[in-house]
Chain A
Amino acid sequence: MIKNLIVDAAYFLQTSKRYQARKRFFFNLLENDKFRYKKYIDILMITLIFISVAVLIREVKYHVNDYLLFFSSYIISIIFFIEYVLRLWVSSSVSEIIVKRTEHDTFLSKKTNLLKAFGSILRAKLRYILSVRAIIDLLAILPFFHELRLLRIFILFRVFKLFRYAKSFQTLAGVLSTKKFEFLTLSMFASIVIFVSSVLIYVMEANNPESPINTLFEAVYWSIVTISTVGYGDVTPITSEGRVVAMLVITAGIAVLAFTTSLVVSAFTERLDEIKEVKTIEDISKLKNLYLVCGYESVAKEVVNKLLKNNNRLIVLDDDEKRVLNAKKDGLIALHYDPGSVDSYAKLNIDIKSQVKAILCLREDDVSNVYTALTVRSIDKEVFILSLLMSNSNRKKLQFAGINNLVYPQELVGLITKEFIGKPVAFEVIHQLRSEDTNVNMDEIAVTKRIVDNFATVGELGNKDFRVIVLGLYKSSHDRFYFNPIDSTILEVGDYILAIGYKVFVKEFELHLHTKVLDE
């Protein structure tokens, strides 16, 4: 009976959209760095930690306001307790474990063994409780019992909680942990030296009434101060034997210090690229409306320059280290990832649908471009893909790979030649309109509600006053371009005006369209 109730409750929670949504919300709030509200929680927690430490410091010599003391001891502790419980809750799913166990036993035609499920739950929760982070969290709650003076010092454990909220601390710990074995060896060596030298100095000095080293504790203190090369000078050996020991410890101290420094430096040097990459990926995850440029060769370089001039955001992926280095030298966000591998996009932690405007396959190699296009299509069916085509015989393959737009340079040269030998002047005019580097250009002005409210028809636009030609109007509703529309053509929201003129005048014209308000 109870067993059935537990299983039913587990199924209910597992299938309840509301419960799962709430749990997901709290998980994101506490653990997901990409969640927009997490940073606010982090800032709140960091503030609370600093308030408690400030109260602890103030309390040493001065009286602290009772309300502040109450806030530091109780309110902050309660907040941390709630956080601890929430983290424990989201760390694993009790209902999921029960459901899985039930389904497993049903599949094997056995009776549901809830004891095994409870065992799994206990193990999962204990795994979390016994993790270093959870222990620090728990200790940070202890100042709640601040009446016990000893427990007050646990406020300092709250400072350790900063590790959880500040990414750089985690990076530091991560870097140093790669040299775990070396640090262990070093600490073993240092411990042996400290132990031997402490005993030796105690034996040599303790019986001398003039020596400041009278106890084993003083001997250990002297050894640590000396081996660390700090050398306060408050405790010094006075016997010749003691000084010989001191010389040995000083020599060992230099070795320990040099070894420690080189370990930290080499740990950072080895992982510097990785740290930079992690930071880059973090930055990328915050970008929206970006172009993903796959391959960084001559055409890609030019395209990137032109896109950057229009204030676009873009990242470059290339599997060739030299080209990635070139892109970085050009000041771009570039990663040495293979654009033809699904794994690259997973590592990039990028949501193509919501973050990427278009993917540009600009390798000057059709095989690579097909491979990249197919990889992207396997992740997202909708995103706009543009690719270079290097050999016309591969056109169908690239189209089949799901590329939306192909640019074939050789064909362009052919078409340009045709136009140039037929109508050289006209060709130059159009070429100038297309080129980013000339003063006269063509712009697309999106018709907004504001424009429609101010200008009902094409005739009212007043483009001639701005020395701007309206080449035509693209009607989204009909998906058709109307060349040189008559004055009475009605403007609708979503239309595009194709305006030609000097950049400055077109800008002014656009400004006029957006700012003019009809006189009452």
Chain B
Amino acid sequence: MNNKTALIFGFNQYSFEIIQNVTDKYSIVKFYSQNVENLKNDKYDIDFFDLSDDWSSVEKNIDIEKSIAFCVLSDNAQNIFLTISLRAHFPNLTIIAIASNSENANKLSMAGANKVIPVVETTADIITNILELPISNKVLHGILFEENDLKIAQIKIGENCTIKDEEILNIEWSRYNGIIVLSLMHKDMKSEFIYSSKVKHHILQSGDTLVVVGYENDIQEFKKLIGSES
């Protein structure tokens, strides 16, 4: 019951791509399809589900707190219905859903999805970036998705951090041991750009998270220097 489980609802190209990318983080991946035909698939072990309110089999076998659900049904209305149904039964489950457009994205958020990926908008953003900002697109893509030395990392400020209780404005971030601090997320706020007026007078507290970009070694060095736990 302690195993982290990924629940993937929907049998399509999106779910295949998601499976490939979550297996290293989630020890158990459960695949669900509404279509009985898909259950005979040799490659994946697929369970049947329908949109009735019977989630007992899911409830029994997994630890909801540590699990994540991906709602990727092709039918928008069914995907929203699935999301709202999961949220109603599992208030603590992390739900990621895909939306074909911004209208559906809003509905999925209202239905209780923790994260909505608006496929069309995201694809359009990437295409526009490739065309208009080819260099920054390449760099960001490299930082996010590719196996290169330049990384983006989240560093949590712990109780023993050396920079805890310091005002952000007073810390020389931009040249700190070869890393660049992009933003800060603290307990009550969303992530804020490091130069935003909301953040500059903020005093770092335990539980705040810094988003930094740098080379692997420099990030590790930075963590050591400030005494971060993560």
From A360, A471, A481, give the contact of B180 (CB < 8 A).
A471
Q: Check if B126 sits within 8 Å of A407, measured CB to CB.
A: yes
**How many B residues, CB 8 Å from partner?**
65
Q: Check if B180 sits within 8 Å of A484, measured CB to CB.
A: yes
A310 within 8 Å of B (CB atoms):
yes
Q: Check if B213 sits within 8 Å of A471, measured CB to CB.
A: yes
- The answer for the CA separation of A326 and B135 in the assembled complex, in Å, is 33
**How many A residues, CB 8 Å from partner?**
67
- The answer for the CA separation of A423 and B135 in the assembled complex, in Å, is 23
Given A410-B17, A430-B152, are A299 and B136 neighbors across the interface (CB < 8 Å)?
no
A434 within 8 Å of B (CB atoms):
yes
Chain B positions 115 through 156: 1 when the CB is less than 8 Å from some CB of chain A, otherwise 0: 101011111111111111101111110011100001011100
A502 within 8 Å of B (CB atoms):
yes
A468 within 8 Å of B (CB atoms):
yes
B191 within 8 Å of A (CB atoms):
yes
Given A426-B211, A440-B193, A502-B193, are A417 and B135 neighbors across the interface (CB < 8 Å)?
no
Chain A neighbourhood of B119, CB < 8 A = 409, 412-413
Segment 60-115 of B: residues with Cβ below 8 Å from A:
68, 70, 72, 96, 98, 100-101, 115
Min CB distance, A488 to chain B, in Å? 13
From B122, B132, B139, B194, give the contact of A416 (CB < 8 A).
B122
Min CB distance, A394 to chain B, in Å? 12
- The answer for the CA separation of A442 and B16 in the assembled complex, in Å, is 32
Interface hit among A103-111, A211-219, A342-350, A384-392? A384-392
Min CB distance, B6 to chain A, in Å? 8
Chain A neighbourhood of B122, CB < 8 A = 409, 412-413, 416
Chain A positions 242 through 271: 1 when the CB is less than 8 Å from some CB of chain B, otherwise 0: 000000000000000000000000000000
Q: Check if A436 sits within 8 Å of B128, measured CB to CB.
A: yes
Chain A neighbourhood of B132, CB < 8 A = 307, 310, 312
Given A386-B127, A469-B174, are A474 and B135 neighbors across the interface (CB < 8 Å)?
yes
Interface hit among B18-26, B42-50, B158-166, B220-228? B18-26
A33 within 8 Å of B (CB atoms):
no
Q: Check if B144 sits within 8 Å of A469, measured CB to CB.
A: no
Given A388-B123, A423-B153, A474-B135, are A484 and B22 neighbors across the interface (CB < 8 Å)?
no
Chain A neighbourhood of B72, CB < 8 A = 413
- The answer for the CA separation of A284 and B112 in the assembled complex, in Å, is 47
Chain A neighbourhood of B174, CB < 8 A = 464, 469
Segment 405-439 of A: residues with Cβ below 8 Å from B:
405, 407, 409-430, 432-436
Q: Check if B21 sits within 8 Å of A405, measured CB to CB.
A: no
The total of Cβ contacts below 8 Å across the A-B interface reads: 180
Chain B neighbourhood of A418, CB < 8 A = 21-22, 25, 145
Chain A positions 501 through 512: 1 when the CB is less than 8 Å from some CB of chain B, otherwise 0: 110010000000
Most chain A CB neighbours (cut-off 10 Å) among B13, B140, B153, B191: B13
Q: Check if B135 sits within 8 Å of A496, measured CB to CB.
A: yes
- The answer for the CA separation of A415 and B131 in the assembled complex, in Å, is 20
B195 within 8 Å of A (CB atoms):
yes
Chain A neighbourhood of B183, CB < 8 A = 425, 429
B185 within 8 Å of A (CB atoms):
yes
A25 within 8 Å of B (CB atoms):
no
Which single residue of chain A is at the shortest CB-CB distance from B185?
A425
- The answer for the CA separation of A69 and B177 in the assembled complex, in Å, is 86
Q: Check if A419 sits within 8 Å of B145, measured CB to CB.
A: yes
A443 within 8 Å of B (CB atoms):
yes
- The answer for the CA separation of A136 and B138 in the assembled complex, in Å, is 62
B14 within 8 Å of A (CB atoms):
yes
Given A414-B21, A417-B21, are A471 and B125 neighbors across the interface (CB < 8 Å)?
no
- The answer for the CA separation of A501 and B199 in the assembled complex, in Å, is 14
Given A413-B14, A502-B195, are A426 and B101 neighbors across the interface (CB < 8 Å)?
no
B7 within 8 Å of A (CB atoms):
no
Given A306-B124, A414-B18, A414-B21, are A498 and B136 neighbors across the interface (CB < 8 Å)?
yes
Most chain A CB neighbours (cut-off 10 Å) among B124, B152, B196, B213: B124
Given A416-B117, A418-B22, A498-B135, are A425 and B191 neighbors across the interface (CB < 8 Å)?
yes
From A360, A405, A427, A484, give the contact of B178 (CB < 8 A).
A484
Q: Check if A307 sits within 8 Å of B131, measured CB to CB.
A: yes
A285 within 8 Å of B (CB atoms):
no
Chain A neighbourhood of B98, CB < 8 A = 413
Q: Check if B185 sits within 8 Å of A417, measured CB to CB.
A: no
Q: Check if A413 sits within 8 Å of B195, measured CB to CB.
A: no
Which B positions have Cβ atoms within 8 angstroms of A? 13-14, 16-18, 20-22, 25-26, 68, 70, 72, 96, 98, 100-101, 115, 117, 119-133, 135-140, 143-145, 150, 152-154, 174-175, 178-180, 182-183, 185, 191, 193-196, 209, 211, 213-215
What are the 3 A-B residue pairs with the smallest beta carbon separation, nearest first? A414-B17, A302-B124, A418-B21
12 of the cross-chain contacts (CB-CB < 8 Å) are A302-B123, A407-B127, A410-B17, A413-B119, A415-B21, A429-B182, A430-B143, A440-B193, A440-B196, A469-B195, A471-B139, A500-B182
